[in-house]
Structures are given as C-alpha cells and as structure tokens.
Amino acid sequence: MRILVLGHRGMLGSDLTEVLGRDHEVNGVDIGEFDMTSEADCIRVVEEFKPGVVVNAAAYTDVDGCETNRDACFAVNAEGVRNIACACRASRTKIIHYSTDYVFDGTKGEPYVEDDPCLPINVYGESKRKGEEFLVELAENHLLIRTAWLYGRQGKNFVKAILAKARDEGKLRVVDDQVGSPTYSVDLAQATKLLVERDSRGTYHVTNRGVCSWYQFALRILEYAQVSGVTVEPIRSDELIRKAKRPAYSVMSNRKFMEATQRAMRPWQVALNDYINAQSHNHR
C-alpha cells in the first residue's frame, strides 16, 4: 500500500510511520510541510504523494490549551479534518483518523461502545467530535479509531512527566478519581496496521486492555522504572486546578476490534513495562 501519514513527527505519527513502513510504502508530512487548516495544502499533499490511504495523526492535542484557544483548536481538529476529507474525496482515497475518549462525558460506568452517544465536556472533546462528524459525512471510505491516555516515545506524556517529577521533587500528588486505559502508541500503531490491512471501515475503539486511575498508573510507572523513596498522594480532580474538565470514566470497549481482528490488545501493565524498558535501554 502507498500510505501518507499526516503529523508524522508527533507521538502516534512517528510510531505509525515506523510500524506501517515495515510492510508498506510510507511518506509523511507535518506542520512545516503542510498545514491542515489550509484546504489548498491538504489538496497539494494528496496530489503530490497520490496515496491509497491517508492516515491522519495530526491534531491540536493540548487539552487545557483548547479551553482558551477555541478557534485554533476547532480550525485543526474540526475544519482540518473536513479539509483532509475534501482533499481525498475526488480520488476516493481512504482516510484513517483518530479520536478520543473525551468525546464521552464519562458518566456511563461501564465501557463505552462505538455507537454510544457523544457528549463532550471540554472544548478539545467538542472539537474532536466535530471532526468525527465531518469525517463520517464527507469521507465515504473511512476508518475512525478512538483511543485514550496515549504515551509513546516522541513528545511529552504522563509517564515522562511522572518520572521527571519524581526525580526533581520526590513527591507526587496524582488524581485517583478518573479511570481509563493507558495506551502505548506502538501498540496502537500495530492495531492500526491490522485494521488497515483487512480494509476495516467505520468506528473502532482501541486501547490497551485493563483499567486504572492516574494514581494507580503513576504507582506502576515508578515500580517498573525502579524508582523508590517517592511519596505518592492520591487526590481528587477538584484538588487540581486545570482549565479543562476531564471525564471521570474513560474506559472504552475493545470488543469490536477483537471480533474484527481476532486479536486482543495487550494489558496496559505489559505494554507499560515494555515502554519503560525500551526507554531506559535508549538512555544507557
């Protein structure tokens, strides 16, 4: 397959480029080479690379920043997706796009399935939902993958933040009343490859398996990284001042993915352990 990865320098985009590149011809562009808020740019890159599949991993991902930069956030996460869909329309190019658990309000209390009603509670979630709507409306051949709590090798993430804070301050306060499924971007890239190769269409939820709170996640990070002597205090979300509200319950069911691919995602603890080992190996 000839694949164009949009946002190929981002956390997910870089892993997608590597994983898809093992068996397919992959090109990538990112901000600097193209701006998805420009329809002309989107048309230009699709005409230039003539991909059979466009994988869009570009997005405005600063969740708190979206609260104060609503227009910029919608320009990328909503109108940007419309631009890509329009650019792919004439050539009927397939689009793979990513969305988030934050399209849900987090009150369901059991794993969200693909057709549960969306009710975002922050601007980022609203913008991602609008992007989903554009995709479904404009791209006949699309695959929409919702994921959550991503961490990976490129860029900032929760794992790196916890390890840096533990090292610098020796004391952590971590939210214990939001639960979800931490997901390694390499695992998500591999799951994407499976879905693309079997030409899956429609919406799929894909996260690593299992559930924890941010507090429980932090404890495992320290354990696997063999960091000791750090105090970790569980706190409530309302004790942490942040611009964007987060859903309390962010768990999504992988059932549809498992039925389609006959494969299960790895438990989040196994993936995390792998990630931490790979990171420490790289730093040796």
Catalytic sites, residue numbers: 124
Of 178 and 230, the one with the shorter C-beta distance to ligand NAP is: 178
Residue from the set 3, 19, 59, 196 that interacts with ligand NAP by CB under 6 A: 59
Of 49 and 230, the one with the shorter C-beta distance to ligand NAP is: 49
Residue in the structure block whose two tokens are 């002597």 = 229
What is the nearest approach in angstroms of ligand NAP to the Cβ of residue 90? 21
Residues with Cβ within 8 Å of 264's Cβ and at least 6 positions away in sequence, in order, are: 209, 254, 258
Q: Is there binding between residue 7 and ligand NAP (CB under 6 A)?
A: yes
Residue from the set 17, 83, 100, 269 that interacts with ligand NAP by CB under 6 A: 100
Residue from the set 4, 5, 9, 73 that interacts with ligand NAP by CB under 6 A: 9
Residues with Cβ within 8 Å of 239's Cβ and at least 6 positions away in sequence, in order, are: 173
Of 128 and 266, the one with the shorter C-beta distance to ligand NAP is: 128
Q: Is there binding between residue 179 and ligand NAP (CB under 6 A)?
A: no
Q: Is there binding between residue 52 and ligand NAP (CB under 6 A)?
A: no
User: x/- site string to ligand NAP, residues 103 to 132, per CB under 6 A?
Assistant: -------------------------x----
Of 171 and 243, the one with the shorter C-beta distance to ligand NAP is: 243
Closest CA to 231 of 246, 219, 245, 239: 219
Residue from the set 98, 215, 268, 275 that interacts with ligand NAP by CB under 6 A: 98
What does the binding site for ligand NAP look like in residue numbers (CB under 6 A)? 7, 9-13, 30-31, 34-37, 57-61, 76, 80, 98, 100, 128, 147-150, 155
